[in-house]
Amino acid sequence: MGDMSNIRNIVILTGAGVSAESGIDTFRSAGGLWENHRVEDVATPEAFARDPDLVLRFYDARREAIQTKAPNPAHDALARLDAGWGGKLLLVTQNVDDLHERAGSRRLIHMHGEHLSVWCTFCDARHRWRDPLLDRPPCPNCGSPALRPDIVWFGEMPYRMDEIYAALREADLFVSIGTSGAVYPAAGFVQSARELGARTLELNLEPSQGSYLFHECRHGPAGEVVPEWVEELLGG
Ligand code: BJW
């Protein structure tokens, strides 16, 4: 990966491809999650207002499913990097599963929310949550039946953007793993990182639509290319 001796601060962006080998569907590939659902029918605030049962059923099923899945060697490697890297490191995930934290990653931001969190639209509280929402359970804080998935839908602001851009400003290396680069603002991080002086690397199964924006690309399954890259970085 060229000269790595000057790398101290790292920002890593992950997407659905990092969890694919754990058996969690990606969004846009053939056979992907959204082949059976139109995005605008399930992943917008308008869809939730129009047909809350449809949206809640969709998320109840996925919340249940992720609890039966386990981290794969890509998650494990990123957790080893977090534990072993002396410089700054921030793992920004677009994923709403909890496999990074179950693998042991600590310096982690879920920019698109989490399946295992709910948000009360009445009192604004958030709670850890594993059960279905379809039967409208009361908010543990205010008692209102107003819980929704704590997921960032289209048109909503992703979480903790100030912290993410602050980390990008300090980054010497930006690495994008298993994401198609189709959804903004995450898809724009590579350009921001480059403009701010970072080296940029893509690890993905195949070239993404933004591959040309990276200094270097490595293609292959995350469960193989991520551990290889992490060992290189920790060993070097
Ligand atoms: C492997 C692999 C293996 C497979 N190993 N790799 C025009 C221009 C710019 C922006 C916009 C625009 N029009 C609208 C917007 C904004 C919009 C947007 O980007 N839309 C695009 C469709 C154009 N963005 C937003 O609305 C965001 N908010 C925002 O911009 O706020 C500002 C604002 C506020 C108010 C008004 C206006 C602006 C919010 C985006 C929220 C995204 N949420 C979702 C859904 C969550 C719900 C759910 O989970 O159901 O998050 S979208 C969905 O896509 C999910 C993901 O996190 C996200 C990214 O997908 P990802 O991870 O890249 O998955 P895939 O499937 O696309 O790719 C997988 C990749 O892995 C592939 O490349 C495979 O090859 C690879 N792969 N197996 C390695 N084994």
| Catalytic pick among 100, 112, 115, 215 | 112
User: How far is ligand 1, taken at its centre, from the CA of residue 51, in Å?
Assistant: 22
Tally Cβ neighbours within 10 Å of residue 74: 30
Query: For residues 133 and 59, is the Cβ–Cβ distance under 8 A?
Result: yes
Q: What is the pLDDT of residue 27?
A: 86
CA distances from 102 to 25, 108, 182, 229, 232 (A): 18, 12, 27, 21, 23
CA distances from 27 to 35, 68, 80 (A): 8, 19, 27
State whether the beta carbon of 179 lies less than 6 angstroms from ligand 1: yes
Q: Which residues pair with 119 in a beta bridge?
A: 126, 148
Got the DSSP string for 142-197?
T--S-EEEEE--TTSPPTTHHHHHHHHHH-SEEEEES--S-STTGGGHHHHHHHTT
Q: How far is the C-alpha of 139 from the C-alpha of 144, rounded, in Å? A: 5
Residue nearest to atom 39 of ligand 1 (CA): 154
User: How far is ligand 1, taken at its centre, from the CA of residue 6, in Å?
Assistant: 31
Amino acid at 87: G
At 127, is the secondary structure helix, strand, or coil? strand
Query: Catalytic: 112?
Result: yes
Q: What are 188's two structure tokens?
A: 């724009």
Q: Which residues pair with 126 in a beta bridge?
A: 119
Q: What is the pLDDT of residue 2?
A: 54
Query: For residues 18 and 184, is the Cβ–Cβ distance under 8 A?
Result: no
User: How far is ligand 1, taken at its centre, from the CA of residue 182, in Å?
Assistant: 5
pLDDT in tens, the chain (236 residues): 555 668 999 999 999 999 999 999 898 866 665 666 777 778 999 999 999 999 999 999 999 999 999 999 999 999 999 999 999 999 999 999 999 999 999 999 999 999 999 999 999 999 999 999 999 999 999 999 999 999 999 999 999 999 999 999 999 999 999 999 999 999 999 999 999 999 999 999 999 989 999 999 999 999 999 999 999 999 96
